[in-house]
Amino acid sequence: MKAQAGKYGLKRWVVAGLALAFLCCAWSLGLTPAGLVPPDSQHWDRTGEFFRAALNPALDYEDENVPADAEPIWWKGIKGVFLTLKFAFGAMSLAVPTALVLGFLGSSAWWPEPCGGKTRLILRAVYFISRLFMSLIRSIHELIWALLFLSAMGVSPLAGMIALALPFSGTLGKVFSELIDEEARDAAQALKAIGHGPVQIFLVGILPRAMPNLITYSFYRFECALRSSAVLGFVGIETIGLYIELSHEEFYYREVWTYLYLLIAMIVVVDLWGAGIRRRLHTSTGGCAI
């Protein structure tokens, strides 16, 4: 009972410490409830106009200077959605294989046992270098990567895909390595007992059992890549985010909501698709995928 009471007491101190840290950060940044209120009536009017536009999305361009033979706004939005989808898919096509390699190198599941001191030292070096590399590339946000690559390569699809692929490779690789390390080793031990090598044990006894969770997490990150791909439009790469940004700059809020609804519809469809894949994986493995 004393141990349990001490445990709850420690949790209360942790919560109190986090609350104090929040208040200190808010005070140092000058955050007050008044900062949530628009400073004048003009801002209130614009806020109301923006949210009223959600009930009446544009079915045609609000800009009167758009040529009469221009493609319809809904078709432009659909094309923007597919551009966003292509960027996300291309980035994940680069990120997943890279993450599998990094996850393998950042895992200890494939290490031979027993192994000599020199071999273990080399394996530990590979492990820590891989982990460090994954931490470095995922610690920089994809928008910052995009600005760096756009400066170096110009506005190009390749720059956008690499900007997305780098941080996603780091995040996927870290989670892949942890999922692999946490997988049950009974099949691996059986393969080891009949003389298989460490790489064979990993590929046959560990990786297939971890694969459902790896696929599940990859689908989740694909959904994140879709949102990040849309955000790339705000730095000049042609996705639906670029159309949202251009319409917002001109205060064409009805157009903004048209593009937002198309983006939301794409996210919902992909989420339902991913949920179906996860259910099938759950049924086939008879367990719980993350």
Q: What pLDDT, on a 0 to 100 scale, did the predictor assign at position 290?
A: 46
Per DSSP, the three-state class of 265 is helix
Q: What residue spans define the domains of the chain?
A: 73-285
pLDDT tens string for the chain (290 positions)? 555 555 666 778 888 888 899 888 888 877 777 666 666 666 777 888 889 999 999 989 888 888 888 899 999 999 999 999 999 999 999 999 999 999 989 988 777 776 667 888 888 899 999 999 999 999 998 889 998 988 888 878 888 899 999 999 999 999 999 998 887 777 767 776 676 666 777 777 778 888 888 988 998 899 899 999 999 888 888 899 999 999 999 999 999 999 999 999 999 998 888 888 877 876 765 544 44
Q: Which fold has domain 73-285?
A: MetI-like fold (1.10.3720)
DSSP class per residue in 15-71:
HHHHHHHHHHHHHHHT--GGGGS-SSHHHHHHHHHHHHHTTS--SS-S-TTS-TTSP
User: What HEC string does 210-261 produce?
Assistant: HHHHHHHHHHHHHHHHHHHHHHHHHHCCCCHHHHHHHHHHCCCHHHHHHHHH
pLDDT of residue 246: 92
- How far is it, in rounded angstroms, from Cα 18 to Cα 25? 11
Classify 107 as helix, strand or coil.
coil
b (16+ CB within 10 A) / e for 196-235: bebeebbeebbbebbebbbbbbbbbbbeebbebbbbbbeb
Cα angle value 241/57/262 (rounded, 5°): 40
- The number of CA neighbours under 13 Å toward the Cβ of 107 is 27
Q: Residue 176's pLDDT is what? A: 93
Q: What 3-state DSSP class applies to 99? A: helix
**Residue 84 near residue 239, CB atoms below 8 Å:** yes
- CA–CA distance, 156 with 85 (Å, rounded to integer): 16
In this prediction, residue 15 carries a pLDDT of 87
- Kindly state the tokens that stand for 192: 């080891």
On whether the CB atoms of residues 171 and 106 are closer than 8 A, the answer is no
